[in-house]
Amino acid sequence: MIIVHDIFICKPGNASKLAKLFKEVMSENSETLDIMTDMTGQYNKVLIVSQYESLSAYENSWKKYEEDTDANRKMNEKMKGYHEMYLSGSREIYKTW
């Protein structure tokens, strides 16, 4: 099993906005387990936790976002400008035992 953490450090006042946006856009994504904001540690952090059967399943999950579909066009429209809400980001990929 593969667990992926997508981490965003938001501009002040934007963490909850970005978390809500991700929750709305990813509501039908079966791989997404949780969308969280910080309570301690570095401020303004949003963490998206996803789970996949394997690294190849993770890689294949990106293919659906490359397709030109109505759903992807709507998602891209909703996500327009989200880059302005955060300062930096990173991704961590873990293998569970």
Give strand ranges (E) for the chain. 2-10, 32-37, 45-52, 86-95
- Alpha-carbon span 82 to 93, nearest angstrom: 23
User: Is residue 4 within 8 Å of residue 25, measured between CB atoms?
Assistant: no
**All structural domains of the chain with their residue ranges:** 2-95
Backbone region of residue 32 per phi and psi (left: phi > 0; alpha: psi in -120 to 50; beta: other values): beta
CATH 3.30.70.100 fits 2-95, yes or no: yes
Residue 2: closest CA among 37, 73, 52: 52
pLDDT means per 10 residues in the chain (97 residues)?
A: 97 95 88 92 94 95 83 89 95 96
At 67 the pLDDT is: 79
